[in-house]
Amino acid sequence: MGKILFKNARILKMNGEDIFISNLVTNDNLIEYIGDDYEPYGPFDRIIECNENLLMPGFKNAHTHHPMSILKSYADDLPLHEWLFDKVFPIEAKLSEEDVYEFTKLSILECFASGVTACFEYYFHYYAMLKASEEMGMRTYMLLTPSLPEEELAAIHEQYSDPEGLITTCFGLHSVYTPTPEFYEMIIRLVNKYHTPFYIHASETPNEVKECMELRNMTPVQFVESMDLFKYGGGIYHGVVLNDNDYEIIKKHNLTVVTCPGSNTKLASGIADTEKMVKNNVNVAIGTDGPASNNGLDMFKEMWLVTGLQKLLHNDPSAMDAKCVLEMATINGARAMNLTNSDILEVNKFADIILIDLNKPNMRPIHNIVKNLVYSGSKDVVKLTMVDRKIVYEDGKFYVNQDVDEIYKKCQYLADKLTK
């Protein structure tokens, strides 16, 4: 794309500074300049008149399983165990590389339309997911677990070791209730060899914690720590059910908790106490979870739920203010994914940015833009999404070097084939 001038924008850097009206210049994949005196940075390949709309860092979806969009609205309104074991797992067992490739692309479209510029992705069929992410241009932090032999996992991790690359990886496990002893051993070796953060679904439901206690006399978080897997940091997805000792472990290793309020609500898992986490200075990021358990990839919905559910949980309308939620959805997510080069708008950071249309009825009047975003925002206010030097979404259209209608058609064909 070369050089783009975003002219006359409200700029929300997310570094604590107030919003101000100015200009932002991107050069290739980086922010080159923010300020009034932009002319020396020209000539520009494109000048985007922002009309005082809002330029801000893109959202970071810190927990998702993109290929699961194949199961969107296939089996809802069922008890968790039945949903997972009778509906999800049997279909997953039949998934091909092609299914995973097409449905990852479908989900990435939804992300771009929601202003998401980076995803913390976890599923299987890695080669298909990596191909889809690269082709679509989605910044991806991918969790690698033992669904491939150890040497292949290591090779993928090494291939994507450039911290400036579009895709980076770390290691983890699905949960404490699925892996075999060999899987634990494999991941312990890989984490220790590559010094990577470790992530896992943990403490998602009361039942999961109860069963872990019965089996091991430890909570899931305690069990993971007992294997020294948090040595290089990382964190947990969900964290609905945490005790004081879990908090000690989370604080000791500076772990992230990725809260997934949409999924936890729809699956009746409970409400994670993110208010308590924030008060304990835990890095809380936000994830949609997979589109089969939510069923969307909409960070506006998740942001609203994070604050709304805390207000309900604590019986206190003043719980969890909007600014804190917006930080979770942006900088905290970047931190969770080790993407500290795309957390805020600043010179030499990645130009992973979104333009929010403030000329929409739900964004008016402007008393407080951050509150408008969190309490009134919706996907339709995303005017433009830019990731890794490319504008991938603008004014309702996708620019992903793919025939979008073909993706829809292919996905329908594959979904029908799989579920019939």
Least distance (Å) between residue 167 CB and a copy of itself: 21
296 binds a copy of itself (CB under 8 A): yes
Q: Residue from 36, 37, 77, 162 that binds a copy of itself (CB under 8 A)? A: 77
Residue closer to a copy of itself by CB (options 18, 36) is 18
Q: Residue from 46, 94, 364, 397 that binds a copy of itself (CB under 8 A)? A: 364
**# residues near a copy of itself by CB under 8 A:** 72
Residue closer to a copy of itself by CB (options 110, 327) is 110
Strand partners, 11: 20, 55
Q: Which residues make Cβ contacts (< 8 Å) with residue 73, sequence separation at least 6?
A: 295
18 binds a copy of itself (CB under 8 A): no
Are residues 247 and 218 in contact, defined by beta-carbon separation less than 8 angstroms? no
Classify the C-alpha dihedral 279-119-236-336 as positive or negative. Answer: negative
The single-letter code of the amino acid at 62 is: A
Residue tagged 């070097």 (tokens): 401
169 binds a copy of itself (CB under 8 A): no
Residue closer to a copy of itself by CB (options 221, 325) is 325
Q: Residue from 228, 317, 340, 406 that binds a copy of itself (CB under 8 A)? A: 317
Rounded to whole angstroms, how far apart are CA atoms 282 and 275?
10
Rounded to whole angstroms, how far apart are CA atoms 372 and 303?
11
Least distance (Å) between residue 293 CB and a copy of itself: 9
CB atoms within 10 A of CB 277: 21
CB atoms within 10 A of CB 111: 27
Of 79-87, 159-167, 236-244, 327-335, which part binds a copy of itself (CB under 8 A)? 79-87
Of 2-10, 104-112, 159-167, 172-180, which part binds a copy of itself (CB under 8 A)? 104-112
Q: Residue from 43, 268, 279, 348 that binds a copy of itself (CB under 8 A)? A: 268
43 binds a copy of itself (CB under 8 A): no
Task: Select from 79, 138, 141 the least CA-distant residue to 107.
Answer: 138
110 binds a copy of itself (CB under 8 A): yes
Residue closer to a copy of itself by CB (options 83, 230) is 83
Q: Residue from 16, 43, 90, 396 that binds a copy of itself (CB under 8 A)? A: 396
Least distance (Å) between residue 312 CB and a copy of itself: 5
Q: Residue from 21, 78, 155, 215 that binds a copy of itself (CB under 8 A)? A: 78
